[in-house]
Structure 1
Amino acid sequence: MNTGPFEVWKEDVEPALISKMEEFHQFGYTSVKKEDIWALAMKKLQKQEVSLRIHALVQAVMHLSIRDYMNDVTIASYKESASLYSSETALGELLEDIETGSSSDRHLT
């Protein structure tokens, strides 16, 4: 689904975005911004067949959970780290570091 039509209502649903942002902040996720919530709502709407009505957009924003946000952040992190090691050269260097033990001074604590 194309989420372009929802862009017109971004200003109209700003109170919902602010409310959801403040909710996340109350739970300790203070780095969450309105833009993050908007982007996540757009991703969710792309996966669903919803009517192009403002109440569908508000519902998508208000039903976002911290779990949804953390899943999105985790997936983005995995994709970023995978892209760093996507080339054979980078992977080879990583394996070489592991085999030679040059990375043995790093601890996973």
Structure 2
Amino acid sequence: MDNQHVDAWKDMIYPALISKKEELEMLGYEQATPEDVWKCLSVKVWKGEPEKRLHEMVQDIFHLKSSVYLSYLTIQSYENDDLAASVEALLGNTENKES
């Protein structure tokens, strides 16, 4: 098969994403989802939406290490905390002005 952007392969490789999710669950990452695995690969492995062949995509999924997934989750957690703090600060400022 020809090279395609990674997003073009998503539906075809979904069973591999489910398999990786199940593997991560066995390693203790009970909250893992196929979508999280996809996002992790997009951020950590496939930076810049490169073009790849189908077998390369599947290989990347099965070679994704739990340490890379943990790193991704940690960064996401910090970003979500920053976002939550920003929203809280904005809402706090709004409430103070209304009082």
What do you get for the CA RMSD once the two structures are aligned?
2.7
Which structure is higher in RCO with an 8 Å CA cutoff and minimum separation 6? 2
Over alpha carbons, which structure has the higher Rg?
A: 1
Segments ≥4 residues shifted beyond 6 Å: none
Alignment partner, residue 69 of structure 1: 69
CA distance in 2, matches of 1:17, 1:76: 19
The residue correspondences of 1:1-40 to structure 2 (distance < 5 A) are 5-40=5-40
Relative to its length, the structure with more strand (as a share) is 2
Q: TM-score, normalised by structure 1?
A: 0.63
Structure 1's unaligned 5+ residue stretches are 91-109
- Given that 2:21 and 2:32 are in contact with CA atoms closer than 8 Å, whether structure 1 keeps it comes out as yes
Q: TM-score, normalised by structure 2?
A: 0.69
Structure 2's unaligned 5+ residue stretches are 90-99
SS in 1 for 2:47: helix
Instruction: Give the number of aligned pairs.
Output: 86
Alignment partner, residue 82 of structure 1: 82
| Identical-pair percentage | 34
